[in-house]
Structure 1
Amino acid sequence: MYKIKLINILFVVNFLLWSSFSATASSLFPEIVGVKTVFYYDSARLRPLVGNIYYPVDKNIQGEDKADPMVHAKEAKNAPVKRSKEPYPLIIISHGYGGSREHLSWLAEALTNAGYIVATIDHFGNTASFDTPKIALQRWLRPQDISAFLDNFLKDPEFSSLIETNHIGFAGYSLGGLTGIWLAGGIADQFTKPIVGKSSIYELARDATEQDVDSIDYDQALKSYMDARIKAEFLMAPAHGQSFSTKGLKNIHIPILIVVGENDKVTPPSQHADHYAKSIPGVKLDLLKGNVSHYVFRNQIRPDKINCVSSFEFEVDPSVDIKALHEETAGLAIDFFNKHLKK
């Protein structure tokens, strides 16, 4: 009964917000965005690297609505990139546990509208469409995915000449935030083997067995996965604060802005964001007040598709205006990256 009532409430709230979104799109978000899906392969680790590239397009380019439960801008698939006198700065985005390259498209679209090319990637084995415990448990595969994707993307003849390689930023949500901490130079010196039946899903993995857990070499978590090409990071509700001591974070020296909801029960600020902010020199922390939970950073759901998605993973307090919160968060990200990546 509760679930039915919650879904009905979410339907009404989302309908009102989505109607507003459709009628008068915020100046932060484009009506049309260029999108191209790229397919690379990391032969050293036998991992596919699939990403969406979001980019500015000319005003005369037409876009199409995406057949998807989530709210997106109209997409101009494979359209030409808008010409620019200077190469574009690049932002690469990492999704959370069981997410996908689509789940943070609202942020990618806003950054594109602000003059960035944006890459969002799937972390193979820990996505909404393919989530397997043996891969998902190996969190350290994520920063390696980002570095391998950059290796390939920056050599892609279609995009290589368009990117200012000295102006690359990163944005990550939840486990994507952990990914960013590794890429920035953090050493997970307190990363421990999870325990089936005791550790939370954000330390463990869905449906993980003791055999799955025992099959993995957790010493891999203790290595450095720093990528010096990344010059600034915007992290939303970053996870795994418990995996890094203050000493393990001391070698991070790039600008980082962290945003997190005050009511986040999955990655409580006191255990994660606060620890990172206090331990990493110069980190800025923005606490989003009110009933802002962990899942507010995922895409907004179309009201007519609310029953097509997981009520758990997209559940948001009805009092929270998702559109306004995404606008606020996107504005913070744009201001941050403009300060640190734009010439």
Structure 2
Amino acid sequence: MTRDLFNLTASLSFALIALSPTLTEAQDHRPGVAEFQAAHPGGARALDGHVWYPTKAEGDEKLLRGSAVWRDITGHLDARIAPGVFPVVMISHGMYGNSVNQAWLAKRLAAEGVISILPNHPGTTSFGRDPDQARQLWLRATDLSVSFDQLLTDPRFADHMDPTRVAATGHSLGGYTVMAAAGARHDAAHFAAGCVDAPERVDCDVLDGWKVGHNADDLEMLQSDRSDPRIRTVIPLDLGGAQTFDPASLQAIDMPVLVLGSGRQDMLNQDVESRALAAALPDALVTHVEIEDAGHFDFMGACVEGGYEILKREEPGDEVVCVKGAEERVAQHDRIFALILDHLRQTGVMP
């Protein structure tokens, strides 16, 4: 089913008025952030990333990451986590993204009493582009599980994470990743057949360039079940790769899914991606919102004023990431966050 963004006003207003003691306490939290490291069994694939979490730390936030184009990312670096046990959201970045792309979302969640885990996916990060690692697309969903497992043993966070209240969200290729973590299965033959009829599709070009599914030895792993049974709900953010999935596996998804798409449709064809995904999922479990005038990059951080001009001058072609990327993007973040917060509460991940 499809919901218009602005039809949520009444339910959100009621939720804000009917504040429980738990929610009131969460509003007193401040955003803490720390780095973590993890590794797949055998150590063949090393991971790093950030974890955002609620803290009671006082004083000013410190700079986590600065940029000439992106707005500064600040938080309480390495602060002690607040007392309590908190829900967990795993967040997957997009193609050639990184663990700070959705820091804006993780920071807001931390202030509401949520721990967010944001790993860098080897081979598909901003500064780690490796086609051979990217080819192993099946490992992206497992990166989330491995990162979560590691943090459950980390003395900083182990006693504060509730493994029964877990969600996953991801942007673009990260949307593909969280759907795989929810049980969607890659179907190489199905995908290849679709690309024959539409070879100009972005997803066809990208996966072909990485040689995903080209090697017969890869197919068993590529098409294997990568689901994490701890996940209660997933939220793909303008996902890319919906056509890679076996339709039967999408129909078998047994958890609520909030599909957020970009109304401006400036990067991905919604008929092929978010609309198609929503149509393929069980009607009773899917909510599809195409956010009015949102672009693909509005799910990433906000740009500084003049960021568009800097990229147009220094990296021609990349300026697309900053289209409507300053104050208009911040307003979109407010809308996106309201939708996500409402969904996490409705599904019981958050109180």
On whether the aligned pair clears a TM of 0.5, the verdict is yes
Q: 1:232 to 1:67 in 2, by over 3 A?
A: closer
Tell me which residue corresponds to 1:192: 192
Tell me which residue corresponds to 1:314: 321
Distance 1:41 1:57 in 2: 26
Tell me which residue corresponds to 1:143: 141
Distance 1:147 1:319 in 2: 33
**Range that drifts further, 320-329 or 162-171:** 320-329
Shift of the alpha carbon at 1:49? 1.3
Moved over 6 A (4+): 28-31, 209-212
Shift of the alpha carbon at 1:110? 1.2
Residue pairs, 1:160-239, within 5 angstroms: 160-189=158-187, 190-192=190-192, 198=199, 200-205=201-206, 208=209, 217-239=218-240
Shift of the alpha carbon at 1:188? 2.0
Tell me which residue corresponds to 2:278: 277
Structure 2: gaps of 5 or more residues: 1-25
Shift of the alpha carbon at 1:55? 1.2
Shift of the alpha carbon at 1:39? 1.0
Q: 1:180 to 1:161 in 2, by over 3 A?
A: same
**SS state of the match for residue 35, structure 2?**
strand
Deviation string 1:231-255 (CA, Å, 9 cap, x unpaired) is 1111101121211243121221111
Tell me which residue corresponds to 1:267: 268
Tell me which residue corresponds to 1:13: none
Deviation string 1:7-46 (CA, Å, 9 cap, x unpaired) is xxxxxxxxxxxxxxxxxxxxx9999621100011213361
Distance 2:290 2:210 in 1: 36
Tell me which residue corresponds to 1:243: 244
Q: 1:114 to 1:31 in 2, by over 3 A?
A: closer
Aligned residue identity for 2:345: N
Match of 1:330 among 316, 337, 350: 337
Distance 2:342 2:57 in 1: 24
Distance 1:56 1:145 in 2: 23
Deviation string 1:279-321 (CA, Å, 9 cap, x unpaired) is 212110011123x221221111223655268524514247981
Q: 1:220 to 1:191 in 2, by over 3 A?
A: farther
Tell me which residue corresponds to 1:16: none
Deviation string 1:153-197 (CA, Å, 9 cap, x unpaired) is 1122221100111001111111111111111111222243989xx
Q: How many residues align?
A: 312
Deviation string 1:54-94 (CA, Å, 9 cap, x unpaired) is 1122152432134412224522211111223xx10011100
- Identical-residue share of aligned pairs (%): 22
Shift of the alpha carbon at 1:263? 2.3
Matched, 1:113 2:103: no
Tell me which residue corresponds to 1:9: none
Tell me which residue corresponds to 2:350: 342
Distance 2:201 2:44 in 1: 28
Structure 1: gaps of 5 or more residues: 1-27
- The normalised TM-score by structure 1 is 0.81
Deviation string 1:113-172 (CA, Å, 9 cap, x unpaired) is 111011111001110011111222332110111111122111222211001110011111
Tell me which residue corresponds to 2:78: 78
Tell me which residue corresponds to 2:298: 296
Distance 1:210 1:52 in 2: 29
Q: Higher helix proportion, which one?
A: 2
**SS state of the match for residue 100, structure 1?**
coil
Q: Is the 8 A contact 2:30 2:56 kept in 1?
A: no
